[in-house]
Structure 1
Amino acid sequence: MMVRNNMADRKDAPLSLGSVLVLGLGKSGRATVEYCLELLGNRVTTLAVAAGERSAASEEFAAAACARGALVAFGDDAVNELAARCEGHFDLCIPSPGIPPFSPLYQAAVKLADEIVAEVEFAWRESTPESRWVAVTGTNGKTTACALVAHLLSSAGLAASAVGNIGDTCIEAVADGCTEVYVAEVSSYQLASTRRFAPDVSVLLNITPDHLHWHETFEAYRDAKFKVLENLSTHPHAVAVLDATNDVVCAEVRRLHALDPVERGFAYVPMGTKAGITGDMRTACGSDNAAFLSDEGMLTVVVGGEEHALLSANELLIKGEHNVSNALAAATAALALGVSADDVAQGLRTFAPLEHRIEPCGDVKGVFCYNDSKATNVDATLKALAAFPETRPIVLLGGDDKGTDLAPLVAATRQHARAAVCFGEAAERFAAAFEVPSACQSQSSIPEASSLTSCSTSEDFTLLRAEHLEDAFDAALSLAEPGDVVLLSPACASFDEFSSFEERGRVFKELVRNRSAHGE
């Protein structure tokens, strides 16, 4: 292993990166290759790329990289093939987040690379010493929270960029050199391959089962998320923001609270308590810091010995209790970085909903439509259903089934919605979870539609099945009256009918525009 002599103008980067191996040519893989190509012959002695499966795009990129001096190989044995051309080992490996640790490529890299680090950590190491980092992770809400933090910081005059899974990759932003504060949305995939990554502020939102096909167990998924806290004690004045309303995260809050402050080595701010977002952890367990929704409905953050009553939750443009949590998380992060309470409050007032996240997208004859296509798991849809306390929406559920437990979804849908339309590949299993009979019990109020394969009605709840999203939307409109809400919040991935949740959401918005324009 090479002796590490670090650069003075980088956070934690060696003078020589040596022989570098990049796994995969996804978005972050391509960005990493581009960055290392600029260093080839200087800090990078050899750049090897295990490109994964062949595609027209990957072959085109690989050819261009080879022309600039990189070594590229495709297939499951690519790492061994490249090692034979690189003196049998690599000094550093940077895997793309889509490559799981148990895959042949990753396992080969474990045997042949001195160090494996995620692109987010590589970028953090390569950033300037004075730059600051906020890392945001969690099962749901991280994109909104990340965008909110960047908005608050930018509104206060800082050169902040949302990076990682939102915006540019981390290494692209570092290479650009125009950012003071990197607000990184980091996934469990990326965190699993971090070693020394130490943000100034770590935001850990809810943790519920997801991505188990990649991590194999929930415990591995949870532990990957917790790695966002692992090195905070090495960073002076680091702060962790933790969603204490989530059982898994609350257990970590309790563990941190039990530690001696010197042993812990960083400050933490719990949001809410197990009782909910209105809980004040100072009262619940004697925490020094807290973030919560006060009895008067004010977003309140206590950090560093100061209490800040920021603004009323009613002033937020983003809907739902989960977005109150996102706003509290972002506000706490901004306050921890020195932004004034007045600037934080003003920034919160002006933050608009992100695309595909309970996004208002117009109305059809007085029926208000919301696009929550980003809700690709049950927990996200539960939050969306609770975001409309003033009405009972008609919700569109379905898509590419993740096979998760549907009991909580069924209970919440019956409680909060007046109707649901199940569609897509998941429709049959979702309908079965609602115990839908094979034929409609009553169709007296529902126009005929060949795509409706079954339905169930009761005094206060109706369930329909449809083949595609468009059919589901039309079925929902047939049930709706002026003032009602139609909510696309599928609780599923999109890959049965669409290439991504973004495409699904944009198709939904186009359907709303078309039906509105034609007065249907």
Structure 2
Amino acid sequence: MASRELIANRKHAPHHLGRVLVLGLGKSGRAATAYLLPLVGDRVDALAIAAGAHTAASEGFVAEARAAGALVAFEDDAVGVLADAAGGSFDLCIASPGISQFSAFYEAAAAVSAEVISEVEFAWRESAADSRWVAVTGTNGKTTACALAAHVLAGAGLAAAAVGNIGDPCIEAVAAGRTDVYVAEVSSYQLASTARFAPNVAVLLNITPDHLHWHRSFEAYRDAKLKLLANLDGVPGAVAVLDATNDVVRAEVRRLRALDADERGFAYVPMGTAAGLGGDMRAACGSDNAAFLDADGTLRVALGGTEYTAGRAAELQIKGEHNASNALAVAAAALALGVDARDVAAHLRSFKPLEHRIEPCGTVGGVRCYNDSKATNVDATLKALAAFPETRPVVLLGGDDKGTDLAPLVAAAHAHARAVVCFGAAGPRFAAAFEAAREQAPAGFAVARAEHLADALDAGLAQASAGDVVLLSPACASFDEFGSFEERGSAFKTLVADAAAALGA
């Protein structure tokens, strides 16, 4: 049995981890294994890896792990085999985020483990006691907000790194020991297996239906996201930044408002830009703190009795109201960590758009093309549509259908787009939804069908004229034609470049 005596200069790391199981050998599983292997015989009595599916890519890593003393199994009953070999049970299981809590694989591990946590939580526990964590989650926008926060903090002179779902596993950054502020993008998968995780600043952007195949219900998905706030009351000076324009998050704001400060245990900053919640939201949200746009588009943050300005939304290089909201969230987080407001404003202005997120990717015959391949759900596409108030784009929709309600998308396309091209496996259902709402469409609104992404770009360009915009914002996953949204976005950029070259433009 592992000792519960904790290492004094870490967040919550026991001297003795005991028998440890790593569940899954994806990116985070390999990182956790690499961290744990040198501890075998010291803090770790036995290290076991239930590696999941056997792949050629894993063979070299597995051979090295076995040579270093780890137990590894690939069989369907790998957890049971490893438990028997390790002494019957495990003191700790670190689960990969791709493995659903409802899967037989996860349930088998939970049955023989005293505790199951995610790699994010493990990294937080092992990190230095005086390190600070900014954790960002939300159905949409979390990668941009995380990258923006790391950019602002690093620009202000802090040793900050963007980790987690955005890129490198958290435990790799902890092991490297060069980071004072971890800016962690945390997914619902990662949050579902947290118990003590307690960031200094928690940023909750929005919660809309997604990943229901993993969580089984929207309620379970919502609850996983809200676990980000579960332990803030134990962190001195902790701050939660909450998007009060989102219905689900606004309900959490109402819950917090009903608590007195001592009962709540942390400060909260409602923020947002939408009509009805724009302007100073402090009275409406029952908080002395708020992050909002004033009438001239200035980013304002009221925090701890002081009011700050962080530049103007029009100065941002990232488009759309949702990115103004991301900037507000990051400004509040950075100010909560003590960054000077002038530095916040300067580095918000200098941040450039991330790849595959409303990314300008070329012009074809005077038609501007944007790659928003990261929009893998309806809510993300709604935000992209609203990012072009001065022109009605031709929008390319489709891919691997998630089966979500299309009514909000149809209404938004009618309001903001001049045409849609429905492509891929989801194309027929999307086109049918627009056909069913044909009588509500504005005059001249066009609906086209295409089989593949290349055909969709051709059809979109045919609907556009010089000065118009063609926007890939699919509202779907990519797996009908591509291995990832990144692959889809890169393919789109190549198609745009080829089309421009063919015209000599």
Instruction: Give the aligned partner of residue 181 of structure 2.
Output: 181
Q: Is structure 2 residue 452 aligned with structure 1 residue 468?
A: yes
**C-alpha deviation, 1:167, in angstroms:** 2.2
SS in 1 for 2:184: strand
Aligned positions of 1:45-444 closer than 5 A: 45-272=45-272, 275-276=275-276, 278-435=278-435
Name the aligned partner's letter for residue 15 of structure 1.
H
**C-alpha deviation, 1:281, in angstroms:** 2.1
**C-alpha deviation, 1:433, in angstroms:** 0.7
Structure 2 stretches lacking a partner, 5+ long: none
1: CA distance between counterparts of 2:252 and 2:3?
36
* CA shift digits 1:449-499 (9 cap, x unpaired): xxxxxxx99732011000000000011111111100000000000001001
2: CA distance between counterparts of 1:133 and 1:276?
32
Name the aligned partner's letter for residue 406 of structure 1.
L
**C-alpha deviation, 1:279, in angstroms:** 3.9
* Deviation larger for 2-11 or 157-166: 2-11
* CA shift digits 1:342-381 (9 cap, x unpaired): 0000011101110000011111111101000000000000
1:479 paired residue among 452, 463, 467: 463
* Deviation larger for 386-395 or 45-54: 45-54
* CA shift digits 1:76-114 (9 cap, x unpaired): 311111000011010100000000111112111111111
Q: Which 4+ residue blocks in structure 1 deviate beyond 2 angstroms?
A: 58-61, 272-277, 456-460
Instruction: Give the aligned partner of residue 494 of structure 2.
Output: 510
- Paired residues of 1:140 and 1:380 also in contact (CA < 8 A): yes
- Paired residues of 2:400 and 2:479 also in contact (CA < 8 A): yes
* CA shift digits 1:42-77 (9 cap, x unpaired): 111110001111221233322221122110111331
Name the aligned partner's letter for residue 207 of structure 2.
I
Q: Tell me the TM-score normalised to structure 2 length.
A: 0.97
Instruction: Give the aligned partner of residue 483 of structure 2.
Output: 499
2: CA distance between counterparts of 1:275 and 1:466?
36
Name the aligned partner's letter for residue 345 of structure 1.
A
1: CA distance between counterparts of 2:247 and 2:135?
21
**C-alpha deviation, 1:209, in angstroms:** 0.3
SS in 1 for 2:98: coil
SS in 1 for 2:334: helix
Name the aligned partner's letter for residue 265 of structure 1.
G
Structure 1 stretches lacking a partner, 5+ long: 442-455
* CA shift digits 1:303-355 (9 cap, x unpaired): 11111122111101100000011000011100000000000000111011100
SS in 1 for 2:183: strand
- Paired residues of 2:414 and 2:442 also in contact (CA < 8 A): no
* Deviation larger for 97-106 or 282-291: 282-291
Q: Identity rate of aligned residues, in percent?
A: 71
- Paired residues of 1:244 and 1:273 also in contact (CA < 8 A): no
1: CA distance between counterparts of 2:128 and 2:285?
39
**C-alpha deviation, 1:295, in angstroms:** 1.1
Name the aligned partner's letter for residue 259 of structure 1.
L
SS in 2 for 1:245: coil
Question: Structure 1 residues 276 and 193 mapped into 2: Cα distance closer, same or farther (>3 Å)?
Answer: farther
- Paired residues of 1:272 and 1:280 also in contact (CA < 8 A): no
Name the aligned partner's letter for residue 143 of structure 1.
T
2: CA distance between counterparts of 1:196 and 1:61?
30
* Deviation larger for 285-294 or 344-353: 285-294
2: CA distance between counterparts of 1:274 and 1:389?
14
1: CA distance between counterparts of 2:34 and 2:355?
29
SS in 1 for 2:90: coil
SS in 2 for 1:85: helix
SS in 2 for 1:101: coil
SS in 1 for 2:25: coil
* Deviation larger for 321-330 or 428-437: 428-437
2: CA distance between counterparts of 1:457 and 1:517?
35
* Deviation larger for 278-287 or 205-214: 278-287
* Count of residue pairs the alignment pairs up: 503
- Paired residues of 1:277 and 1:293 also in contact (CA < 8 A): no
SS in 2 for 1:518: helix
2: CA distance between counterparts of 1:114 and 1:401?
38
Instruction: Give the aligned partner of residue 445 of structure 1.
Output: none
Question: Structure 1 residues 237 and 60 mapped into 2: Cα distance closer, same or farther (>3 Å)?
Answer: same
Instruction: Give the aligned partner of residue 447 of structure 1.
Output: none
- Paired residues of 2:3 and 2:16 also in contact (CA < 8 A): no
- Paired residues of 2:188 and 2:221 also in contact (CA < 8 A): yes
